[in-house]
Chain A
Amino acid sequence: GESVGLHLPTLSVQEGDNSIINCAYSNSASDYFIWYKQESGKGPQFIIDIRSNMDKRQGQRVTVLLNKTVKHLSLQIAATQPGDSAVYFCAENTRGTYKYIFGTGTRLKVLA
């Protein structure tokens, strides 16, 4: 399939290691955040979300951390697997604005 973005920052991780993908969001009023995974040739897939009244949320093998002070969001993937190779991007929303702002994304490459 086609690559999604030719000039994205790339994170290369050894299989089995943990991955940390970062996102700086733009609007201090944003109160809802989502991480998506996009594999080549496919639409984005929801991974995990977090609301601004939380600073951490865990899913299966994934953890999202939110630091509102510095407007920073991170996605941690435990025991990274080859199937995790994709582009990951965050999205932010402010309730009532009917608009999501997406980051440009980070390409995760899992090395065997």
Chain B
Amino acid sequence: EAGVTQSPTHLIKTRGQQATLRCSPISGHTSVYWYQQALGLGLQFLLWYDEGEERNRGNFPPRFSGRQFPNYSSELNVNALELEDSALYLCASSLGVGGQETQYFGPGTRLLVL
């Protein structure tokens, strides 16, 4: 069974540009989570999607947004990139029943903002 996949693996952008990160959950999983992991910090919760709906978002500005498609894959968009957005962005998926199921993580997208 394929795990959570993310693309691209690496992304280099300049300040002010937009970045789009993609995630495909494990087959059968309906919940997708996005996290930011900056160097020296723990995982910071960004967004949680379940059945196409945004269930919750973390303490990030509105320029961080996303969506979940009918096939449960997801996109994270970061507008007006800032240098401090440089981080590893991790996507996780779970069965999405009740919100307390094991999250399985993808390998991440490393975003570098110059």
Residues of B within 8 A of A (CB): 4, 33, 35, 37, 39-45, 48, 50, 55-56, 58, 88, 90, 92, 98-100, 102-108
- Complex CA gap A43/B88 in Å reads 9
B50: A residues at CB distance < 8 A = 98
Set of chain A residues within 8 Å of B90, measured between Cβ atoms: 43-44
B103 touches A34 (CB 8 A): yes
Report chain B residues within 8 Å CB of A4. Answer: 37, 88
CB A101 to nearest CB in B, in angstroms, measures 7
B42 touches which one: A34, A49, A89 (CB < 8 A)?
Answer: A89
A97 touches B40 (CB 8 A): no
**23 CB < 8 A contacts A-B:** A4-B37, A5-B40, A5-B42, A8-B40, A34-B102, A43-B105, A45-B105, A51-B100, A89-B42, A93-B100, A95-B98, A95-B100, A96-B99, A98-B48, A98-B55, A98-B56, A98-B99, A99-B48, A99-B58, A100-B33, A100-B103, A102-B45, A104-B41
Q: Tell me if B99 and A95 are in contact (CB < 8 A).
A: yes
